[in-house]
Chains A and B, each alone.
Chain A
């Protein structure tokens, strides 16, 4: 079974600073995908970034990058130059390639950007 752990319930960061949100995962399957989603206070789930288990390079999407350390089973999200609009819940999730591709989510981290 897959498991995702996010150990930071809340993070407070000054605007324009970089922030790292931690995520560790556990699976015995060699083929898997890791995702980060953002949930603002309005409630919708917004996809941010994806990392495949066989990807050689860390994923990047604009201000978002994923620090993927396969041996440590970690997939931390890095947000550069944080903005007030980045304040939200952030969820790390994974799915395995074989079988039904359900997402298994971590507990989430509430990020607050201070002006």
Chain B
């Protein structure tokens, strides 16, 4: 009964490769997010989708392309991976208009670029 699930949990790959991270939520929320946590533990928003529509794109390189096939899923595809992409990527979800309700986070995907 996991609320926000991400796969894979770990991703180790070579520089220059293309990889995807999948995220699904079963909370019935209409908004989903991708956050990046760097090596210093700093968390920063990357993207947000509301009902499959992109509403936040925080100056992320266009090698990163989110896709939301429906409001329960938000995937992240990364092309031409670079060393600086090594980080933990968190998916989250929330319900628009319910600011008191916290964003629910997945367990994160640890991406390591060799």
Contacts and interface: CB of A to CB of B under 8 A. Distances in A.
Contacts of B108: 43-45
A108 B41 contact: yes
- Interface size range on A against B: 20 to 34
- Interface size range on B against A: 20 to 34
B contact patch SS = strand
B42 A43 contact: no
A52 B41 contact: no
A90 to B, nearest CB: 11
Interface stretch (B16-24, B60-68, B70-78, B98-106): B98-106
B16 to A, nearest CB: 27
Contacts of B48: 100, 102
Interface string A41-72: 00111010010100000000000000000000
A11 interface: no
A contact patch SS = strand
Contact of B45 (A52, A97, A102): A102
A94 to B, nearest CB: 10
A89 B41 CA distance: 9
Contacts of A35: 102-103
Contacts of B58: 102
Given A35-B102, A43-B88, A95-B99, A105 B44 contact: yes
Contact of A52 (B42, B50, B56, B99): B99
The 3 closest A-B pairs by CB, nearest first: A45-B105, A47-B102, A105-B43
Interface of B: 31, 33, 35, 40-45, 48, 50, 55-56, 58, 88, 90, 92, 94, 96, 99-100, 102-105, 107-108, 110
Interface of A: 33, 35, 37, 39, 43-45, 47, 50, 52, 89, 91, 93, 95, 97, 100-105, 107-108
